[in-house]
A and B are shown apart, each in its own frame.
Chain A
Amino acid sequence: MAPVLELKNITKRFPGVLANDQIDLTLEQGEIHALLGENGAGKTTLMNILFGLYNADAGEILIKGNHLVTGSSKDAISAGVGMVHQHFMLVPVFTVTENVMLGDEITKYGEILDRTAAADRVREISQRYNLEIDPDAYVKDLPVGVQQRVEIIKLLYRKADILIFDEPTAVLTPQEADELVNIMRSLVNQGKSIIFITHKLREVLAVADRITVIRQGKVVGTTTPAQADQNTLASMMVGREVDLQVKKEAVEKGEVILEVEDLIVLDDRHQAAVNSVSFEVRAGEILGVAGVQGNGQTELVEALTGLRSPLDGKIELLGKDVSQATPREITEIGSAHIPEDRQRDGLVLTYSIADNLILNTYYLDPFAKGPILQQEEIYKTAEELVEKFDIRTPSIITQAGSLSGGNQQKVIVAREFSRSTKLLIASQPTRGLDVGSVEYIHHQLIEKRGSGSAVLLVSTELDEVMELSDRIAVMYRGKIVDVVDAEQTTKEMVGLLMAGISPNGAGKQLEASKKTKKNKTNNK
């Protein structure tokens, strides 16, 4: 029997990058095939080609042995391909039914929507695949996990046989992720085939039947969970032996730099995103904040940096109450901030590197005397920082927007590290960066700690937090579930805490889950 899907020789070139280089991939009926690769390895490009959002420069796509002429997602949809996008493709102000039927509407008398019939279809699908949903609810009122269910129903409504999941667990809590795994399994059991795109090694090993690793647009190899482990997959992904260990020397912990007490912060929807959080960070330590995305980390950092004023609670920086301070006041007291979204918050992409390097010090001597900017001084400093932090750029008047992601992050690091600060708040500092840049940033964070600074590292990458932190605070639903010593804990333990399982219960749960896992492997 022919494989349900064959990608042959797919090549896609973007200006300056070869995003896909002769990629071959086959998907068998009823399998979960993981597509593993770093950020920027070309996974999403490949899937967008399959889904008709891009046109490939070369190569062909066969579905059940038939050629698929791509060009629009319409063709892909009618060939039975469906995709759950990383960022949900849902219209918030439409109901579940409207979202599901959009583009393939059930109508009566030609053009008139038959909402009742469509809602019945949605209900039918949701029962058949065990995806609980209210067809008449507005999508904007649904939690993230349920929204993802709507995305899946959209595909099933279109009778898709080949389902592509693009980084589906990034926004899910561990339980939601577990449930997604169950859903994927049940889909496969009912005859669907799944491509699962991810860069998370553990998930791949837990779910996939086969694993294809791609690196820099090329297929590195295909393997199975039985043949591979995390280390082999990691080195396939990166292309060399990866030393996941970061060497860090013991540093004497100093005074308390940042102290947070009973902090409550509301999100944009006026709900408590940070709920009675307390912790402290001392000089010479890295406090990692672990947690699934969307558990209040963003709001916590915004409150600590003055971008969002907390509803209640106390934030003390170097002994001063800064809970209602402006970002500038906090910066001036001595806090550095690597923002979560560097292109949105950290840089002005149309500005030169020089201007970006003084983005929060432009008004201070020597960059400004009175109201007048001192251009010469600004350029001199920029030259020095570009040199010191190894920012790869043609010149200091190059626009920040034309730099690579890694170099953009270096501009931010250079700016924040060149000031004398006592606290560094780094939020997702390595998101979307290549391995080289990740190592560079990790090295810089360790150095900052070594220089006697307090570091608050917020990351959703559990490995990163485990490696770098001295202590780890785990956030779940706006609360800090527990603060644990990094040396004395395990990934499994932190993982359970991330799922909101209380410190006492965590040990027992761990035992239990190990047993189930064993059972599962036996059944196979």
Chain B
Amino acid sequence: MNETKEKAPQKNAAQIFFEEMRGGSVAIPILAIISGFILGGLIVAITSDEMYIAFQEGSTVLGLKIGFNEAVEAFKALFIGAFGNPSEIWAAFRGGDDIAIQAAIKPFLETLVQSTPFIFVGLSVALGFRTGLFNIGAEGQLVIGSVTAVWAGYAITGLPALIHIPLALLIGALGGALWGFIPGWLKAKTGGHEVINTIMLNFVAANLTFWLLKYPMLAPNRTDPISPDILDSAKLFRFFADEEMRFHIGFFIALALGALVYWFLFKTKWGFELRTVGSNPDAARYAGINPARSIIIAMSLSGALAGLAGANEVLGLNHNLAPAAATGYGFDGIAIALLGKSQPLGVVLSALLFGTLRNGGNTLKRPPTSVPIDLILIMQAFILVFVAAPAIVRTIYRLREPEEVEEGVFVRGWGGS
């Protein structure tokens, strides 16, 4: 009996981690991130005027040195923007002054705030991946989730916060779930590919939201499309009284959902069903699992997670809703899920990285560095390339080939089946 146990240990997170490590599954994302940063730095260097001036007026060596410095400065700004200035933090904690401490850790907390929607959308896409579905429509689900949540936030009155907040979150999740259910149902019943349908629904959601905000949900006394402010009872709890400190409970809700998704996918029979459908729908059918039902459930859950991202934003940060151009969260979610290998823990870590980049990018774009924030998109694209095509990373860093069967392709043609 003991022997059996030794041979077949519980597959906990740590074990999965080491298992993946052996196959290069952890090494590859890390090397991908490093490569992404190097290439990002390169772009900063080659687009800086200073370097060319140095090339022309000084020497090649000087030019290279200046270029290198530019890149280093940019990343320094990025990290200080994301985590705060270490010396300031140190000083603040030594001083023990609450206000100084708050000011010092504000960038870090803001990073967590920025990471929160990434966690939700990353989990959303990852759950789809695990079921063999490519949810490219987290964007639209997020938008619908924010619309329904904001509606619940201002239209439902007379509730205590303890009920109003969960209710508004739930309604946001339901909105997203509906927007995921549609392509799920279409896939299950007609075979229409979810990639196309979710892309189409992104645009439908954007137009629908615009219309809703222009007419039925327009705030009183406003002409530009914007919703009324949500009631105080629907606002997510913030940890600091200071308006500038936006850190709210949404981050912990996201973490809790990460744990929940992990438990659901890997510890319950429902997760087993979804993963089986994702790995081999024919075998799932053979084993008595109803793939159509699993697809619908998975797309709805995936939509609900994305909807929560939207709800989190309106209930936690903006407190109202104005139509935004494409937020890009949907594509970020794909990148995060891939980088995190569709493992909830990996997704949370990747989301934190993306939040760091996003928040740091805000500092980056201001003087003295003045590097456009879009640099982080380019870096994300590079990271994603290396994660998606591990062979490239293996070639560059001379890793060995994996022995195990790698996961297959998602796309089996637009018409499905």
Contacts and interface: CB of A to CB of B under 8 A. Distances in A.
A350 B284 CA distance: 13
Given A368-B269, A396-B8, A359 B276 contact: yes
Interface stretch (B35-43, B188-196, B358-366, B401-409): B401-409
A103 interface: no
B216 interface: no
A328 B11 contact: no
Contacts of A339: 286
A401 interface: yes
The secondary-structure label for the interface of chain A is mixed
B249 to A, nearest CB: 27
A133 B239 CA distance: 80
A339 B268 CA distance: 26
B276 A348 contact: yes
Interface in A380-422: 380, 382-383, 395-397, 399, 401-402
Contacts of A363: 269, 272
A363 B273 CA distance: 9
Contact of A376 (B5, B269, B287, B290): B5
A412 to B, nearest CB: 10
A346 B287 CA distance: 8
Interface in A328-387: 328, 331, 337, 339, 344-351, 354-355, 359-360, 362-363, 368, 371-373, 375-376, 379-380, 382-383
Interface string B264-292: 00011110100010011011111111100
Nearest to A332: B288
Contacts of A349: 279-280, 405
B222 interface: no
B398 interface: no
A326 B290 CA distance: 9
Contacts of B8: 354, 376, 379-380, 382-383, 395-397
A383 B7 CA distance: 9
Contacts of A368: 268-269
A49 B403 CA distance: 26
Contacts of B279: 348-351
Contact of A373 (B272, B284, B286): B272
B7 A373 contact: no
Contacts of A397: 8, 11
A328 B285 CA distance: 9
Contact of A360 (B11, B287, B405, B407): B287
A344 B279 CA distance: 11
Contacts of B403: 402
A359 B287 contact: yes
Interface string B289-308: 11000000000000000000
A360 B286 CA distance: 8
Interface string A450-480: 0000000000000000000000000000000
Interface in B1-54: 4-5, 7-8, 10-11
Contacts of B4: 379-380, 383
Contacts of B267: 372-373
Contact of B269 (A305, A337, A344, A373): A373
A327 interface: yes
Contact of B280 (A327, A348, A373, A395): A348
Contact of B288 (A326, A354, A371, A401): A326
Nearest to A355: B272
Interface in A213-267: none
B5, B276, B290: which has the most chain A beta carbons within 10 Å?
Answer: B276
A261 B412 CA distance: 38
Nearest to B289: A328
Nearest to A415: B287
B4, B288, B404: which has the most chain A beta carbons within 10 Å?
Answer: B288
B279 to A, nearest CB: 5
A368 B5 CA distance: 18
Nearest to B271: A373
Contacts of A7: none
B283 A347 contact: yes
A355 B268 CA distance: 13
Interface in B51-99: none
Interface residues of B, number: 27
Nearest to A401: B405
Contacts of B405: 349-350, 399, 401-402
A379 B4 CA distance: 8
A391 B284 CA distance: 22
A390 B267 CA distance: 28
B154 to A, nearest CB: 36
A371 B268 contact: yes
A305 to B, nearest CB: 8
A307 interface: yes
Interface string B342-385: 00000000000000000000000000000000000000000000
A331 B286 CA distance: 10
Contacts of A375: 10-11
A200 to B, nearest CB: 29
Interface string B168-199: 00000000000000000000000000000000
A481 to B, nearest CB: 29
A62 B187 CA distance: 53
Contacts of A348: 276, 279-280, 283-284
B7, B268, B283, B289: which has the most chain A beta carbons within 10 Å?
Answer: B283
A362 B10 contact: no
A368 to B, nearest CB: 5
Contacts of A382: 8
A396 B3 CA distance: 13
A34 B276 CA distance: 43
B269 A362 contact: yes
Given A345-B282, A350-B407, A363-B269, A376 B10 contact: yes
Nearest to B1: A380
A326 B286 CA distance: 10
B7 A344 contact: no
A371 B283 contact: no
Contacts of A359: 276, 283, 286-287
A116 B280 CA distance: 45
Contacts of B282: 344-345
B218 to A, nearest CB: 44
Nearest to A306: B288
28 contacts: A305-B286, A307-B286, A326-B288, A326-B290, A327-B286, A327-B287, A331-B288, A337-B286, A344-B283, A345-B285, A348-B279, A348-B283, A349-B279, A350-B404, A350-B405, A350-B407, A359-B286, A359-B287, A362-B272, A362-B287, A371-B268, A371-B269, A373-B272, A383-B4, A395-B7, A396-B7, A401-B405, A402-B403
Interface of A: 305, 307, 326-328, 331, 337, 339, 344-351, 354-355, 359-360, 362-363, 368, 371-373, 375-376, 379-380, 382-383, 395-397, 399, 401-402
Given A328-B288, A348-B284, 18 more contacts: A307-B285, A327-B285, A344-B280, A345-B282, A345-B283, A345-B286, A347-B280, A347-B283, A348-B280, A350-B280, A351-B276, A359-B283, A360-B286, A368-B269, A376-B8, A379-B4, A402-B403, A402-B405
The 10 closest A-B pairs by CB, nearest first: A328-B288, A379-B8, A401-B405, A360-B287, A345-B286, A359-B287, A371-B268, A348-B280, A363-B269, A348-B279
